[in-house]
Amino acid sequence: MATIKVYTEETPNPATRKFLVNKLLMNGSLDFANREDAKVSPFANELFKFNFVDGVFFASNFVTVTKSADSSWDDIEEIIKEFVKGAVESDLKIQEVVTDLNTNFEGSDVEVKIQQILHDYVRPAVEQDGGAINFQSFDEGVVTVELRGSCSGCPSSIITLKAGIEGLLKRMVPEVQEVVADSL
């Protein structure tokens, strides 16, 4: 068994930190915004036992943790890093029931094209910052997305949404007039 290494990265959201591991944790992503949601995830449930954890987000090879406002990364980063290392080494489950998070997009031709662009171009960049973006709907020129992980509540996410994602979609899908986020 290879030794598990955990690396931390700051994200654009000062309340979140990304804990990367040298092992694939999952395909897709899962977001646990509170303790109640985390009950279906042994890994997230254990993280929420720390009183300074306010959110947990999993994707590919990382865990993004949102800290409480009254805690400092200087005080808690090593604690979380050691916990993540131990949890990955002991194969603590991220979720009890594994669901297939495939990329079979549904909807009209325009909706499928939007979802494909979000998956191919936007998702990798957003994941680098410890977050995720999910397509919600397309109605009368307006694309609604959900921002999760670091992106949820991040001060720079509105700029990324409008300047980056909206600009990209408008160029690639002429039917798109605006992009809005459900979680902002």
How confident is the prediction for the chain on average, in pLDDT?
A: 87
CATH of domain 109-181: 3.30.300.130
Report whether pLDDT(76) > 50. yes
Task: Note the CATH number of domain 6-89.
Answer: 3.30.1370.70
Q: Indicate the residue type of 101.
A: L
Instruction: Give the model's pLDDT for residue 97.
Output: 54
CATH 3.30.1370.70 boundaries in the chain: 6-89
Q: What is the DSSP string of 67-92?
A: EPTT--HHHHHHHHHHHHHHHHHTT-
- 136 conformational bin, left if phi > 0, alpha if psi -120 to 50, beta if neither: alpha
Cα 154 to the center of its chain, rounded Å: 12
Both tokens of 119, joined, read 């998956």
Q: What count of other Cβ atoms lies within 10 Å of the Cβ of residue 48?
A: 21
* 116-146 tens-digit pLDDT: 888 887 887 788 778 888 899 999 999 999 8
Query: Per residue in 170-179, pLDDT tens?
Result: 888 999 999 9
Looking up tokens 């919600």, which residue turns up? 136
Place 96 in a pLDDT band, splitting at 50, 70 and 90: low
| Token output for 62 | 């990382």
Query: CATH 3.30.300.130 region(s) of the chain?
Result: 109-181
Rounded Cα gap, residues 43 and 21, in angstroms: 14
| Phi, psi values for residue 2, rounded to 5° | -70, 150
Whether residue 130 contacts residue 57, with contact meaning beta carbons closer than 8 Å, is answered with yes
What is the Cα–Cα distance from 12 to 121, expressed in whole angstroms? Answer: 19
Using DSSP bridges, classify how beta strands 53-59 and 29-32 pair: parallel, antiparallel or unpaired.
antiparallel
Each residue's pLDDT tens digit, 57-70? 998 899 999 999 99
